[in-house]
Chain A
């Protein structure tokens, strides 16, 4: 039980609650909250020295944010 692991677990739970029940329930607030459990996952990977997985996750998160922003942008424009 390293400090990174404990912190990662706490951030993960907080992040899951933040994404599941965002307060102003908009797409953008939920998308921004998605970064919080991502950081929990990164800390847990850091605790177990999974460097390659960590770096790949950062890169994939950037692309997935872009994909989601594209869908959200079009949805907001249609409304």
Chain B
């Protein structure tokens, strides 16, 4: 441990020097965005070297901020350059035609069985996979409405915990089902990033 921390710091310092040397010499903007992702990995190593629970607590928000930043920057880049989605799909893969329905069904069913936050993530992975492979033609206002009601049910479950603690099992079920819907509705929006008529 005593040797590991300075050694790790040295490695990260070398990595940062190399990464920024490449960033300074780069002229193309999209290459620069890719190198920004590299800088994020180096920053995460720096935090991970702390090697306590504090590191873990700092890495999680770092990752979330990093991904939202990357999404925003790439969106700004696409808008600025005026890039459009290609007319024809870049490649056709037979598996992407037949598999999504089955896999999405299995993932969503397993997610509902798990319920709660984890279940929402698993079910959403199925929905995202389906939307990415097949495209989508849903009214997203409807999904957002469901997500809003789910949030209200979730808060209602907490009031049951506070004022009627003897019905805790009912409240757990309510909260578990509501957060499942909420997470799934929010995450399935990621699957619409290719753009579409109703987004």
Contact = CB atoms under 8 A, between A and B. Distances in A.
Interface in A45-79: 45, 48, 50, 52-53, 56-57, 60, 63-64, 66-68, 70-75, 77-78
Contacts of B4: 1-2, 5
A13 to B, nearest CB: 6
Taking chain A's interface residues, is the majority helix, strand, or loop, or is none over half, making it mixed?
Answer: helix
A64 B15 CA distance: 21
B35 A19 contact: yes
A55 B146 CA distance: 29
Interface string A6-25: 00010011001101110001
Contact of B37 (A1, A9, A68): A68
Contact of A38 (B19, B41, B59, B193): B41
Q: Which among B33, B45, B90 has the highest number of chain A CB atoms within 10 Å?
A: B45
B133 interface: no
Nearest to A30: B34
Contacts of A9: 7-8, 11
Interface string B1-42: 001100110011011001101100000001101110110011
Given A48-B55, A68-B34, A70-B74, A53 B60 contact: yes
B83 interface: yes
Given A12-B15, A20-B19, A30-B31, A52 B38 contact: no
B81 interface: yes
Interface of B: 3-4, 7-8, 11-12, 14-15, 18-19, 21-22, 30-31, 33-35, 37-38, 41-42, 44-45, 48-49, 51, 55-56, 59-60, 63-64, 66-67, 70-71, 74, 77-78, 81, 83-86, 90, 132, 190, 193-194
